Structure formats: C-alpha cells, structure tokens
Amino acid sequence: MERREKLYEGKAKIIYATDDPGKTILYFKDDATAFNGAKKGTILDKGVINNKVSARLFKLLAENGIESHFIEQLSEREMLARRVEIFPVEVVVRNRIAGSLAKRMGREEGPELPMTIVEYYYKDDDLNDPMINRDHVLAFNLATAEQIDEVRETALKVNEVLKNYMFERDVLLVDFKLEFGDCGGRILLADEICPDTCRLWDRQTLEKLDKDRFRRELGGVEEAYLEICRRVCGEI
Ligand code: TMP
Ligand code: ASP
C-alpha cells in the first residue's frame, strides 16, 4: 500500500490517503510538543517506538475483542489504518492521581484512585483542549448519547486490558488518553497508544517512563521510551 496525498499533519503524526478510500497511512514523526505546542523538541526515534508500541497494543486490544482503526504496521514509521472521522473529544482514563488531576484537586501525585475516572476534553487547540462533561458532548453535538456511552465503556475495557498487560511487565498504567472516530457509522478506537499518550511508571521505583520526562525536563527521555518499547514489545 502506497502513500498518496497528505490529508492532515498533526504535532506527532502525518496522515496520508492511500489508493483505497477506506484506508489511511499514519506516519509517526520524532517531533515532540507539550503544553499545546508551547514547548517543542524532538525525541530521537520516538516515531519508530510509538509506531511499534501502538501496533503491539492495538493487536493486544484486538485479541481482547476491542477493535480499532489499526490494520497493520507497514514500516518502522508507518501504520496502515482504517479511515475514520475523529470525534473532537479526547478521552482520558485515570487509575492514579497525577498530572492535571493532581493540580486541579491540589493533591500529590501517586496515590491509586478508589475508582477509575473517565474525563472528556474538547479537542480544540485554540481553546487549549478544555475539560467538558457528557452533557457538553450532547448539547454541542460532538457525539450522540449512544456513541459517548459506547466510547466510555470501550475506554474502561481498554484500561482493564492495558493495566494488566503493563503490570505483568512491571509497569503501572497511571493514566492515558484515547481518541475515537466514526468509520461508516461504527465507532472505532483510533490515533495511537504509546509513551506520548500514557503515563507509565516503573512498578518498583515509580520512575517515570513516558513523555513527562520531556514535559518536565527530567532527562533520559530516549532511554525511557526504549525501556517501554522493550517491556511492551519484548525486544527492540
Ligand atoms: P493530564 O494529566 O495532563 O490531563 O494528562 C492525562 C493523560 O493524557 C496523560 O497520560 C497524558 C495524556 N495527554 C495526551 O495524550 N495529550 C495531551 O495533550 C494531554 C494534555 C495529555
Ligand atoms: N499533545 C500536547 C501538545 O501538543 C502535549 C502533551 O502531550 O502534553 O503540546
């Protein structure tokens, strides 16, 4: 399958058309941004790692009955995927207090939550992706009630599968962000699942093995991404 015209370029990926109108090619870049693009940089071979980790995790989810846009990995930086119309809602699932939740609630990072939290964010860079709730999703026609309920249910299932898989590999799945899209009336999990979009801590030391190393200038960014790739994919 060959790349045709560029459909969209985001901060971390480029989406290309293919000869098949139902399929796209995702090209994973090394570009890294944080704080809605305010901080910019590159992480060496991030695109290669994020493509590989996403492919492994989308396959794992498929094995567990959760379909996604993923079809196959084409090359080091390219993934073949079903063409979807992305919902303008980012879904964040949280198992522990960290990041913006710690800030919003005035708590330290780390503790496990007594229940999983699902949050929605309106995907709009100009507005800085504000947090919204289910009513906003419905009132602003971002998705139907059936769609957002299915999205929430799928997000919780994804959490169960990924949390267990990570734990077996000595990684705590602290939180993560998912995106979904419409594929001819069907809701599909889309985008990527990788150290850019998840908080992943070493189970013993609680060392951060994800994009927070870049966001917070902790150093050892490439090493952390490689370590996650090794643990998730079994080799590099
Ligand atoms: P937050 O604590 O900053 O709200 O982030 C929650 C999770 O979502 C975390 O795993 C990182 C991920 N995330 C993204 O993938 N993209 C984003 O733009 C943001 C802000 C967070
Ligand atoms: N995706 C966000 C940005 O574009 C950053 C983040 O992941 O924190 O800057």
Q: How far apart are the CA of 37 and the centre of ligand 2, in A? A: 6
Is residue 162 in contact with ligand 1, taking CB distance under 6 Å?
no
- The pLDDT tens digits for 177-229 are 999 999 999 999 999 999 999 999 999 999 999 999 999 999 999 999 999 99
According to CATH, what is the number of the domain 85-219? Answer: 3.30.470.20
Tokens 């990924």: give the residue. 162
Q: Which fold has domain 3-82?
A: Phosphorylase Kinase; domain 1 (3.30.200)
Query: Mean pLDDT in the chain?
Result: 97
- The pLDDT tens digits for 90-103 are 999 999 999 999 99
Closest ligand 2 atom to the C-alpha of 125? Answer: 4
Residue ranges, CATH 3.30.470.20, the chain:
85-219
Q: What is the structure's pLDDT at 236?
A: 41
- The pLDDT tens digits for 36-69 are 999 999 999 999 999 999 999 999 999 999 999 9
Q: Mean of the pLDDT values across residues 117-140? A: 98
Rounded percentage of the chain residues whose pLDDT exceeds 90: 99
Question: What DSSP string describes the chain?
Answer: ----SEEEE-SSEEEEE-SSTTEEEEEE-SEEEETTTTEEEE-TTHHHHHHHHHHHHHHHHHHTT--BSEEEE-SSSEEEEE--EEEEEEEEEEEE--HHHHHHHT--S-PEEEEEEEEEEE--GGGT--EE-HHHHHHTTSS-HHHHHHHHHHHHHHHHHHHHHHHHTTEEEEEEEEEEEEETTEEEEES--STTTEEEEETTT--B-STHHHHTT-S-HHHHHHHHHHHHHS--
pLDDT band at 235 (very low <50, low <70, confident <90, very high): low
Q: How far apart are the CA of 55 and the centre of ligand 1, in A? A: 20
pLDDT band at 151 (very low <50, low <70, confident <90, very high): very high
Residue ranges, CATH 3.30.200.20, the chain:
3-82
Please give the angle made by the CA atoms of 57, 58 and 64, to the nearest 5 degrees. 90
Q: How far apart are the CA of 20 and the centre of ligand 2, in A? A: 31
